[in-house]
Every structure is written in structure tokens, then in C-alpha cells.
Structure 1
Amino acid sequence: MTMDGTVVVPGTTMGAQWVDEVLLAGAASDICFRLPTPIDRGMLRRLVLERQTELAESGLRPGGAAALRLPPSMAFVTHLLAVWRLGGQAILLDHRLTDYEVRRAVERLVPQVVVSPDGPVAAGLRTFVDVETAVASYSGHPANTSHAVVQLSSGSTGPSKVIGRTAEDLIEEVHRYTKIDGVPVRGERVILLPSMVHVLGLVGGLMYGLHAGVELVPPARLTGDAIVAAIASGKSPATVLGVPFHIGLLASVNEPPRLPQFKRMTTGGELVPSAVSGAFEDKYGVPLGNMYGMTEVGVIGTDLFGAHRPAIQPAPGIDVRVVDGELHIRRPESPYLGLSDPTRWADGWLRTKDAGVIDPDTGLVSIKGRLDSQVSVGGLKVDLTEVEYTMNTLRGVEAAVVVHDGSITAYVQLNEQRDVARIEADLAQLLASYKRPRSVRVLAQLPRTTTGKLVRDTAVLRKAAP
């Protein structure tokens, strides 16, 4: 029996019971969101039931799929939970995708309904928006798989992959978070910055927050001052959850006020240079924690206290190994929709394409960058990750991407005016000549994915360069 008294739907994604027990359980008066208007658990349940009725009337059935193309909003949250309560599959499409990208995804995945904004969304820098929705019937076909959620990878190194995760897999990850030392607990707040369309914001933010009874607080705007205001808006301990891009927003605040409630910041995505983490911790007096994960698996390892940087501790229940320098994660089935690619998953192991090392004494894992970052220059091996890391230590360099495009090429974004010749001279003091970029190209803004990761696709970088 579920929260609305109906019989549990026996749909392919387990139906309503897991949503009620794992995400929506608890006292009706518990605050789930502050937008800044508080949304308590009772109100959230009512909104989800209303959305569920609307989706059913539009043709969504147990075992069917609904594509959600919505910006961060209560509309996104309530439609997502409603799809799952119906026993349906949620296909998450970032609202920033082009119409062409959305059309290709919908044609491939064939949802029963598509939920979109009912008109233009003037979001600007807002992190959460008010949006009216339109639900369009698309097909009468059931979902092609039994996955509860289908996501597109961030595509930082090329085309996105289509990834599916079951309800059991999502529940397991939510419970995994509860066993990680340093995560927010009931009575605390999460300042939510990453998109809930992608795994960090979806599971590490939304799902874990609902399960653990943590208040989710999106800032009014995606600026450093607004993030600080969100931290200061309550007395309970606050953890900022984001990606490395958001560190820069907080770093841009000239003189932040005293924030005794600021507990820590935790970032997923790219490795954070030690100079950046050190400057952040000096400025705010709180640890900068690190989280490593993949859309395919969710959280893999963490260092929430910043004690082992750049190494991480594997999350509870995660089994890792290193084969020929590549990090593998145990996973019983392929996460990819369609034919399984043995270069990505085989024999119960997911190939991460990340170079890694496991310390035999401590079990700590160090991520050494992408395997495809290792190139040969004149017969000598060069790790582009090392070059990129060194570029990021130079004065004036806000961010850098180093690729091999016939030769080593660096694309940099600066935070102060510097000549390329001066940058190259500084780099000559730090790297052997065969490791140094043959070309340094300055961009006003480096291309990033929708999750804030730097794009390393050479075609995209060439197009963005002046």
C-alpha cells in the first residue's frame, strides 16, 4: 500500500513503493526545499500525486517512459517522482539541449509522453525557476528497458552515451551515501548547485537529501554572492554541493562574511588543483571535499575532509581494481542501452577509461587522468594531464585544457592580462621541452558541458578558438 492508499504498481521499475519508502517517507511537516519559500514533505507528496494523475491522463502507463525536458524546478522534481510512482521510466533531457538533440533522443528512446515547459523559460542566472508544463503524448509503446532512469553522459570528450540505471541500483547508491563519513545528515542543509538531470545533483543532491531528511537550498542565482547568501540564510550546518566551476564563483566573492554554519564544500567532476583547493580553504576556513563518480555508477569514492587529496577512499560497497593502468569498477550488468561495448563493459567490470593507482596498504585510489591523455611525442610518452595540471598553476591562468591535435595544444582561459610569450616562458621553467605545448591559444571562455566540465573534444575547442 502506498501513501495515497493505492495498490503498489507492479511495473517494470518496481512501481510506487520504493519512492514512498526511500524518498517520501517522514513527517509531513519536515522541510524538503527552501526556494526560499519552504516546501514541506506533505506539500511535496500532494504535488507528486497531482502530477501522477496528469501523467496517467496523458497516456503514461506502468512500464512506460516519460521524457522530462525541464529546467531545475519543482516541476522537474514532482514530475520525476510522479513518473517513478507510476512504475515508469524517466528519460532526463537537459533543458539546455538543442531541439535537434532532443528530437534525436526522443526518436531513439520512444517515450509515451514528453514533458516540456509551456513556453519560453527566462531563467537567466536563476538556479531554480517557476515553470508551467505541457505534457504531450508521443507513443503507446512501453519502455524498451526496465531502467528507472535514463541519462545522457556529459559528453566532455565526445558524443554523449545513453545510460540506464534500475530502481534497485539507485536505492543502493542512496544507501551508500548514508555510510560515507562527512555527508550531511538530518537537520542540516545542502546548498544545491549541480543540475539534477545529471548524477551528482540527482542522487547526491535530490535523492539523498529527500531520503536523509536534509533541506535542499538552491541559491537564488548562480553567483558567488548568492551562494554565500544561501549559506547565511539559516543557522543549521550547510554543505555546498557543486562542481569545480562553482569553486570559482565562491572565490570571486571579495570579502565573504563570517559563516559559522558553513560546514564544507564537496565537488564532483574534474580534479581540483591543489593551489585552487588551498586558496578556497584559506578563504572560507572549511574543507574542500572531493567526490569521484560516473553517470554509469554514481559515487565511486570520496575524500570529503580533503585529507587525502588527490586520492579518494572507495565508497562502501564499491569494488575497484586496476588493470594495465586503467581503473575498473565492478558492475554486474552493462549500464549502456543497446548493444554492450566490450571496450566499456565486459565480464562484470566497467572500464572507466581513467588511469588510476590503488595503494596496496591503504586502499586509497588516485585518479591519474584519462587514459587517452597519454600521447607519444618523438617516441617519448607525455601525459597531457600533467601538462594541463602544470598550466593551471601558472599566474593568470583561470583554467586550461591540453589536447593532442597533431601536436600538443593548450587552450587557456585567463583571469588577468598576460602575453602568450610570458606564459610559455613560465612553463619552460616547469616542464621539459618535449612536454610543452607547441601552441597556446587564449579563449575568453573555455567550452564546458552542461554539468560544468571542461570540454576536451578537439573539434569543439578549435571552433571556439579565435
Structure 2
Amino acid sequence: MTTDMTKIELGAVVGPDWVDELLLRGPDDDICLDVDGPVTRAALRAMVAQRQERLAAAGLGAGGSLALRLPPSLAYVANLLAGWRLGAQVVLLDHRLTQFEVDAALDRLAVQVVVSAGRVRSGALRAFADVEDVVTARAGRPAATPHAVIQLSSGSTGPSKVIGRTAADLIAELDRYTRMDGVPLPGERIIVLASMVHVLGLVGALLYGLHAGVRVQPPQRLTGDSVLEAVAADPSPATVLGVPFHIGLLASVVDPPQLPQLKRMTTGGELQPPAVVTAFTEKYGVPLGNMWGMTEVGVIATDLFGEHRPSLRPAFGLAVVERGGELLVSRPESPYVGLSDPDRWADGWLHTRDAGTVDPHTGLVTIKGRLDSQISIGGLKVDLTEVEETLGGLPGVEAAVVVHDSMVTAYVQLAEPATVAQVEAGLAERLAAYKRPRRVHALAAMPRTTTGKLVRDRSVLRDASREER
């Protein structure tokens, strides 16, 4: 197989040798991972080969179906690559799902083999676990589609969707990463905080790092101090990759040390308020970059230097257009497993359900929030994203979600000594009366998805508010 990624068409069937050619190739002594110590490519290849034998012994082969229910760990990495090396389809199940959710997913997808965690040797807040992985054969069926990986959407706005991506699709995304200005370069490090079960950590950290010769290094623990210790552990340049939730980890560090190794922090997910960006850049003296992407397609647009905020530049090979106020992304084939909803994908275009604009001169994309954030109150247009951004800029507001639930309702997470009354007073100074939330509910902790995104499902937010009363 050629290693020229630009020659692989989206949706094409790619043989399992892509794992060796694009991910595992390299000098034996090259350190590709740093998990409780350096892991060389020779050691990783041996781990993958050992897992491949176990999976084959359980009946997994080319065209088979495998589910991984493992926390971030070397076992997860080795089983993932081993499954692909066998030519199997791999279903990624977040280890934080309940058994009920896992059983429902396994029954729905009817996988043949499951790898789960037996004994887990891991302390609180550990970023990577020491896992004894257990292989179980099931009465499932071979993969029904040619997708290399099946993921469940994060479900921030409703029920999860089943999303499939072919090997060619993943390779095309790797190609987009290699063409971006500002991504980690060979010999550098990615301090990965984002989950490798989800697209940002999976492709943006693990697969890109293995392909590009960038060392992938999780911190010992998911705390601000531990992240900085990981950065300081080696003189090579380091990029921290996470989601907006992780900005708070670093923001919590009082008087951080000088870290000449720290190159930047890059986050996926919600665009951060200007005050958060300013506070971070002033504290650490490095850019806070932003990426926009979806599970269905991976990275779509970036602003890794923080030059165009709040706008982003589309990644190589992707077209982004605005139709009827919604941003659409080019994708030749539907990413959804099963019947394709034309409201989500049709005629080569993926509906992001994000409102936004595309500058006709520069091509820069500006995201203005979810499409359903535009509502009418008494004939007057209200942009819930504007209300949410205003809330997020008030003193003491750590996180906020604004929804239309028969009325405009806000859910906020406050830092002491801020109060709801102070929040309402601040909104009265900044927003016209018809835009202001009729109710503001303070929550001890905002509901988040497993990827750290704020949950916007109204029923989940209502339940969280009732539980805290």
C-alpha cells in the first residue's frame, strides 16, 4: 500500500497493513509513548502482536467486529491497533458508561469479541490506568459495514448516534493534521488530556503522534500541577491537548513555574470567552489554540495560534459553506451507520447544526452557536449564544448553558462568593429585558459529557436542578 495519504479516497477499502505503514513504522528505539516511563516502537509492536494473537484465538479475523471497553491505557492502545491489524471493525465504548448502556450498545451492534478491564490498578484522577485486559467471545456477527472504527457521539444535545469511519477516512484526517501550521512536530510531545475514545484524543493525539513521530504523553494525574510536571519532565517542546474543561485545571494552578518547553494549549469543543483566553495567555505566555470538529468527520477548522478568534480556518481538503444560517461540511459519504437522516447528511454535505458564517474573501469560519439557539420571544429575535456568552463573562460564573424551555432558562456554575442575585443584576446591566433568562438555576457542577462538553439537553439540566434543590 502506498503511504502517500493524499492518494487514498474517502470511503475506500484500505487493507490492514495501514497500521504498520502509517502508525507502527519507525526505529525500534524511537520513544512513541510515555506512560509511567518511555515506550519504544519495538515495545509497542510487541504489545500489539501479543494482543493480536489473543484476539485471533478468540475468533476475531478480517471483517470481524470487536468492542473495546477499556480506560485510557497501554492495553487500550495495543488492542485497538491489534484489532485494526487483523482487519476487524473496532467499536469504542467509553469506560465510564454504565453496564446498562454498554449492554444496550453491544446488543445493538452485535459484536463478536469484547475486550474489557479486569483488574485495574489506578489511583484517583489517574490519566492512564494499569489494566489487566480480559477478552470475551460473544455470539455476535461480523461487521456489517466496511468502517474501521465505530464511535458513539458524545450526546451533548440528545441521544448518541452511531458513527462509522473507514480507515481511508482516518488516514485523510491524519493528512489534514500533517498540513496544519502549529501542530506538534517530529521530536516534540503531545501532553494529552482528551480521551482517546473520542475523536480529538484518538486522532489528534494517538494516531497523529504515532504517524508523525510525536511522543504522546499523558500526565500522571488529571490535575493542573501534574499537567505542568509532565510538560517539565523533558526538554522537548510540548503541546497540551484537551477540551475546555481542562483549561480550568491549568487555571487553578497558583503561580505556575516558567516552562520554556510549553509551546501552546489546544482545545476542542466550545469556544472560550475572551476573559478565559486572556487569563490563560497572561498566566502561561503561550497561545491558546482552538479546533472545531465533529465525531462524524474529525477536525474541520482550526485557529492554533489564536490569531483569528473567534474565527477558524478550514482544514485542508474540507469545504465549509453556510446555507440558511447553518454551517455544512463536505463529506462524500454518510458517516452514520444504518439509515441516513437527510437532515444530518445529504448529497455530500454534513449538516453540523451549528449556526455560523463563512467569509467570502478569507474563507474563515465563524461559529455562532447551535442552530437551535436562534429563537423568537414576542416577535423579537434572541440569540441564546449571545446570552450564554454574556453570562460566561460575568464575575464568578465558571460555566453556563442557556436553553429555551417554554422560556429562556439559564443554568450556571458559580464560584464563591457569587450568587444568583448578583448574576441577575449583572445581566440586567448588559442585556435588554426581552433577552434575559426568566429563570437562573445555580448548579454545584454543570452536567458534562464524557468528553467534557457542557450538556445542553433540557431534560438532563432540569433533572440536575431538581436533584440539587
Q: TM-score, normalised by structure 2?
A: 0.96
One-letter code aligned to 1:76: Y
Q: How many residues align?
A: 457
Residue equivalent to 2:163: 163
SS of alignment partner, residue 135 of structure 1: strand
Cα separation, 1, equivalents of 2:315 and 2:57: 41
Could you report, residue by residue, the CA deviation over 1:100-146 in whole angstroms, capped at 9, with x for unpaired residues? 11111111111110110114665520000100011110125211111
Residue equivalent to 1:286: 286
Cα separation, 1, equivalents of 2:417 and 2:115: 45
SS of alignment partner, residue 17 of structure 2: helix
Matches within 5 A, 1:195-206: 195-206=195-206
Q: CA deviation at 1:35?
A: 1.5
One-letter code aligned to 1:231: V
Residue equivalent to 2:94: 94
Residue equivalent to 1:51: 51
One-letter code aligned to 1:203: V
Residue equivalent to 2:250: 250
Could you report, residue by residue, the CA deviation over 1:48-106 in whole angstroms, capped at 9, with x for unpaired residues? 00000000001111101100000000000000000000000000000000111111111
One-letter code aligned to 2:73: S
One-letter code aligned to 1:108: R
SS of alignment partner, residue 266 of structure 1: strand
Residue equivalent to 1:25: 25
Q: CA deviation at 1:378?
A: 1.2
Matches within 5 A, 1:371-390: 371-390=371-390
Q: CA deviation at 1:374?
A: 1.2
Residue equivalent to 2:298: 298
One-letter code aligned to 1:318: L
Q: CA deviation at 1:379?
A: 1.4
Cα separation, 2, equivalents of 1:416 and 1:216: 37
Q: CA deviation at 1:21?
A: 0.6
Matches within 5 A, 1:51-90: 51-90=51-90
When residues 37 and 451 of structure 1 are mapped into structure 2, their CA distance, relative to the original with a 3 A threshold, is same
One-letter code aligned to 2:454: L
Q: Identify unmatched segments of 5+ residues in structure 2.
A: 2-11
Preserved contact between residue 120 and residue 131 of structure 2 (Cα < 8 Å): no
One-letter code aligned to 2:381: K
Preserved contact between residue 182 and residue 305 of structure 1 (Cα < 8 Å): yes
Residue equivalent to 2:437: 437
Residue equivalent to 2:276: 276
One-letter code aligned to 2:125: L
Residue equivalent to 2:153: 153
Residue equivalent to 1:399: 399
Cα separation, 2, equivalents of 1:139 and 1:145: 18
Cα separation, 2, equivalents of 1:447 and 1:121: 27
Preserved contact between residue 120 and residue 129 of structure 2 (Cα < 8 Å): no
Worse-matched range after superposition: 378-387 or 75-84: 378-387
Aligned-residue sequence identity (percent) comes to 66
The reply to whether residue 219 of structure 1 matches residue 184 of structure 2 is no
When residues 280 and 157 of structure 1 are mapped into structure 2, their CA distance, relative to the original with a 3 A threshold, is same
Cα separation, 2, equivalents of 1:418 and 1:258: 31
Could you report, residue by residue, the CA deviation over 1:243-288 in whole angstroms, capped at 9, with x for unpaired residues? 0000010000001000001000000011111110110000000000
SS of alignment partner, residue 240 of structure 1: strand
Q: CA deviation at 1:36?
A: 3.0
When residues 139 and 15 of structure 1 are mapped into structure 2, their CA distance, relative to the original with a 3 A threshold, is farther
Structure 1 stretches (4+) deviating beyond 3 angstroms? 12-15, 119-123
Q: CA deviation at 1:419?
A: 2.4
Cα separation, 2, equivalents of 1:144 and 1:121: 35
The reply to whether residue 314 of structure 1 matches residue 306 of structure 2 is no
The reply to whether residue 458 of structure 1 matches residue 453 of structure 2 is no
One-letter code aligned to 2:183: V
One-letter code aligned to 1:298: G
Residue equivalent to 1:9: none
Preserved contact between residue 122 and residue 130 of structure 2 (Cα < 8 Å): no
SS of alignment partner, residue 283 of structure 1: helix
